[in-house]
Structure 1
Amino acid sequence: MANNSSLLVSNAPLRRTINDRVILVQVLVALFLCTNLMLLTVFFMKEVFYTSMRYILFANTLLSDCVILIVTNILLSMSYFQVTTQMWLCMIFVAVSSLYNFVTPVTLTAMTLERYVAICLPLRHGELCSSHRALQLILIIHGLSIIPCVVVMLVFFIAVNFRVYNQYTICSVEMFIVHSWQGHLRSAISQFYFLIMCITIVFSYVKIMKVAKAASGENKKSTGKGLRTVVLHAFQLLLCLIQLCCPFIEAAVLQIDLMLFINVRYFNYIMFNLTPRCLSPLIYGLRDEAFFHAVKYYVLCGMCKNKSLGFTI
């Protein structure tokens, strides 16, 4: 990636072209961060939210998205302006980026399972989905999410000399891929994770759909909303899965044309990095009735009449 970065900044006209796009990215990142922080504030304002697994997991995705937006934005800006940093500091940035790149999709999978339990096993929902278990689940999510990063970093530790950590470089995850098989291993682990996530979502969808067919009245409406939520989670995971293929596509395009590479890379970042991070606020900040009324109440400083904040699916 360092070589790619050099190509991107070596030509003045290209730099001016990218500059407008970088500004747009900054605006989008700022907009998404403000939205997420507002929703997190609302989350902590009502006990009904931070004592429910459903909303705790939602808050975890918001925190994860905020971290990944900030870190990737810093790395993008450093790459664009060719700002070098010591390898040990780059390692921290890459480790955090790698960790939270997985936290969001793994949390989405956990949220899908929570919907499955709520709809298909309602009598056990209170036992299995308590706030205490939610905190334990978040620890498990972070433990699973850090495994791909640990694998890459362990190989790097073994392969390089300690003097490398004091060297300055343009920071990117590719700096820690010292063997070609290491990159293939990282890709294989990521694809395995997303395969398990996809199987989990399909399983939950099929089970909820069976309950929806047998339900009637309010139960049918409730399970219908649950199905739509699972479908939206699946769409988010699809975007995250496509993101895994982006580096391979970009590497192939770079061999063809530099300007095409720039355009493809810009499109990939907007569509498959930023877009999945803005869907969570849309799904829960607007679709969830209780959360929507709470947001509306606090945004308008209590001027509108607040409705009962019950749980909705």
Structure 2
Amino acid sequence: MAKNSSLVGGESLMRSINYRVILVQILVAVFLCINFLLITTFFMKDFFYKTMRYILFANTLLSDCLILIISNILLIFDYFRATMQIWLCLIFYILSSVYILVTSFTLMAMTLERYVAICLPLRHVELCSTHRVLPCILIIHSLSAIPCIVDLSIFFASATLNFHKQYRVCSVEVFTFQRWQGHIRSSIRQFYFLIMCVTIVFSYFKIMKVAKAASGENRKSTWKGLRTVILHAFQLLLCLIQLWCPFIEAAVLQIDFMLYINVRYFTYITFYLAPRCLSPLIYGLRDDKFFLALKYYALCGLYKKYSFHLTN
């Protein structure tokens, strides 16, 4: 009787996890559709890809889409305990570790762009021209790649040639031979987030100072810029929580496996999937020009009255 009860409980657990995986697939599909709509809106009008803040916004959308796709593939492989060769896992690891940070650094760049626009308006055209976007994006990717390069340097120095030919369930632990590797990885990322937080706090107080001294339309525009900086701060907070999630999950795993499954599922949905779509969507809806364009293309040009605004 006890054995039958155990089997029923096991089947119930598998069904529960199964439903969760299906729910994740639905959420990923919805979020990707929304992000692709935002990206399509960006590329449909010349004005957007000739303005620095919109180009940076598109950069976050593209990196978030890539992260959603990669994380979902790894989730499915992990769920079915499917293995892959180490070299293929290495490609997934490089892309995921780099582009998780690309979003965060781009948010910092967008915050600095708002700081220049509000606090240094006479230099905004010079400092935030489209000619400076490509170097800015290259710097963002270079900084994002540093933790990955450190990890890979340790990995290639430690792993044997035969190890690269092995098949494993792909995860970051595959490339971690010593506990101190995780500490180095975490230290670099926390240092990065400290710089980002200082940048956002600095921009916030500078814009706040300008907002208090402004009047009329300038005051309204400045306060809107201040709210944008607060939104970026919230997005970075979610990114920081993502950094802490593996430590929380590892501690919970020592207590109870089922609790670990539940916590991991919750953190993945709340701090990994949702921010990849909701924050960019909120940012897009807050911008008047982008919102009009998004509404126009979402409705397939049904309401022609929006076309006038989009040509300006």
TM (norm. structure 1) is 0.94
Aligned pairs for 1:283-302 within 5 A: 283-302=282-301
Residue pair 1:64, 1:103 contacting (<8 A) in 2 also? yes
1:45 aligns with 2:72: no
**Number of the residue aligned with 1:196:** 195
**Number of the residue aligned with 1:303:** 302
Q: Secondary structure at the match of 1:161?
A: coil
**Number of the residue aligned with 2:175:** 176
**Number of the residue aligned with 1:55:** 54
Residue identity matched to 1:204 = S
**Number of the residue aligned with 1:263:** 262
Offset of 1:241 from its aligned partner?
A: 0.3
**Number of the residue aligned with 1:240:** 239
1:75 aligns with 2:74: yes
Offset of 1:259 from its aligned partner?
A: 1.0
Structure 2 unaligned regions, length at least 5: 1-9
Aligned residues: 301
Structure 1 unaligned regions, length at least 5: 1-10
Residue identity matched to 2:258 = M
Q: Using the alignment, how far apart are the partners of 1:57 and 1:170 within structure 2?
A: 34
Q: Secondary structure at the match of 1:308?
A: helix
Offset of 1:211 from its aligned partner?
A: 0.4
The CA RMSD measured in Å over matched residues stands at 1.3
Q: Using the alignment, how far apart are the partners of 2:21 and 2:68 within structure 1?
A: 14
Q: Using the alignment, how far apart are the partners of 2:112 and 2:238 within structure 1?
A: 19
Q: Secondary structure at the match of 1:153?
A: helix
**Number of the residue aligned with 1:5:** none
Q: Using the alignment, how far apart are the partners of 1:254 and 1:228 within structure 2?
A: 39
Aligned pairs for 1:73-112 within 5 A: 73-112=72-111
Residue identity matched to 1:85 = M
Q: Secondary structure at the match of 2:300?
A: coil
**Number of the residue aligned with 2:32:** 33
1:217 aligns with 2:216: yes
**Number of the residue aligned with 2:6:** none
- Deviation sequence 1:206-252 (CA, Å, 0-9, x none): 00000000001100110111111110110110011011111111111
Offset of 1:12 from its aligned partner?
A: 4.3
Residue identity matched to 2:187 = A
Residue pair 1:284, 1:291 contacting (<8 A) in 2 also? no
Identity %: 69
Aligned pairs for 1:8-27 within 5 A: 12-27=11-26
Residue identity matched to 2:257 = L
- Deviation sequence 1:136-157 (CA, Å, 0-9, x none): 1011100000111111111000
Larger Cα Rg: Structure 1 or Structure 2?
Answer: 2
**Number of the residue aligned with 1:7:** none
Structure 2 CA distance for partners of 1:109 and 1:25, relative to 1, 3 Å? same
Q: Secondary structure at the match of 1:108?
A: helix
Q: Using the alignment, how far apart are the partners of 1:16 and 1:94 within structure 2?
A: 29
Q: Using the alignment, how far apart are the partners of 1:18 and 1:81 within structure 2?
A: 11
Residue identity matched to 2:94 = A
Residue pair 1:293, 1:309 contacting (<8 A) in 2 also? yes
Q: Using the alignment, how far apart are the partners of 1:303 and 1:309 within structure 2?
A: 14
The runs of 4+ residues in structure 1 deviating greater than 3 Å are none
Q: Using the alignment, how far apart are the partners of 1:129 and 1:283 within structure 2?
A: 23
